[in-house]
Structure 1
Amino acid sequence: MIWEDLKEELVLTGLEAESSGEVFERLGKTLIKEGYCKDSYIDALKAREKDFPTGVNMAGIGIAIPHTDKSHVHKGAVAIGVLKKPVKFYQMGTIDEVVMARLIFMLAVDDPEEHLVFLQKILQVLQDPETLRGLTECKAKQDVIQIIKDKEQSLS
């Protein structure tokens, strides 16, 4: 289970941001402060996002799954942001298709082979429209964690 180590410190609900860059700053600083990522992490996120967008529309809800190369990571983690209002990202695999993201799953991947596993596990949980809607309505960090763990357990 990739979610078993999900910590409240890595979940930000009611996150206010005007741009993807602000999202990177807020969530990225959390990963840095908690010791998961190096100081270079935020700049690396921004640079990678320009070339490899991370937005995805799922069941009418925009999500983004930004991440970087392992050289900017001390140890693996997932930080989650539930935005107050959607922020513009671009669709994975495009450079011009907009995704208005409400949920951010920021990956700190320290093992390149784990990267695809992380993405698959996240997408597996998020394929359920009810789970997605529930996450966008969460006000409490514990609720975010519980919804994700319950969904993952139901898939096991």
Structure 2
Amino acid sequence: MIWENLNLELVFPELEVENSSEVMEKMGAAFIKEGLCKESYIEALINREAEFPTGIDVDGFGIAIPHTDVSHVNVAGIGVATIKNPVKFIQMGTDDEEVDVKVVVMLAIDDPNKHLTMLQNILAVLQDKNVLNALSKATKKEEIIEIIKNKENE
């Protein structure tokens, strides 16, 4: 379950950022502060995103799932941000197709064998347009967790 692993310090309602790099800087700094990731985490996120984009268009609703290699992670964790004014990420599997992202789920993966399972669990929640719309309107950290928890418990 995703919600069981959500730390309030890694949940960002209405995050105000100018671009995708700033999303990774702000969220990544919280992962480092919480001890989940090493100092190299933010730079590794930005570099990996440039090479392997994580933007996804879910029926016109943009999400992104930035993550990086296990070598930059101390302990596994998940962060969630709703973006006040959508920012552009490059769509997964393309070099130049942009997605206006409103929800970001950032991962700290400490076991490469669990990587795909974690992504599948997250996508199972985020493929629901009602969940995405509810998340994009959430203004409190607890509200974001509750929306995810309710979807997972369905």
Regarding TM over 0.5, the answer is yes
The answer as to 2:102 corresponding to 1:102 is yes
- Number of corresponding residues: 154
Q: Deviations over 1:54-112 (max 9, x none)?
A: 00011321000000000000000011111101001000000111011010000000000
- What displacement does 1:134 show? 0.1
Q: Please state whether the residue corresponding to 1:4 is helix, strand or coil.
A: helix
Q: Please state whether the residue corresponding to 1:122 is helix, strand or coil.
A: helix
- What displacement does 1:5 show? 2.0
Distance 2:42 2:70 in 1: 13
Q: Please state whether the residue corresponding to 1:7 is helix, strand or coil.
A: strand
Unaligned runs of 5+ in 2: none
Q: Please state whether the residue corresponding to 1:12 is helix, strand or coil.
A: strand
The percent identity for this pair of structures is 53
Q: Is the 8 A contact 2:2 2:148 kept in 1?
A: no
Q: Please state whether the residue corresponding to 2:17 is helix, strand or coil.
A: coil
Corresponding position of 2:138: 138
Equivalences for 1:57-96 in 2 at 5 Å? 57-96=57-96
Equivalences for 1:18-33 in 2 at 5 Å? 18-33=18-33
Corresponding position of 2:46: 46
Q: Please state whether the residue corresponding to 2:38 is helix, strand or coil.
A: coil
- Structure 1's consecutive aligned runs of 4 or more residues displaced over 3 angstroms after TM superposition are none
- What displacement does 1:14 show? 1.4
TM-align CA RMSD: 0.7
Please give the TM-score of this superposition, normalised by the length of structure 1. 0.97
Which has the higher mean CA deviation after the structures are superposed, 132-141 or 3-12?
3-12
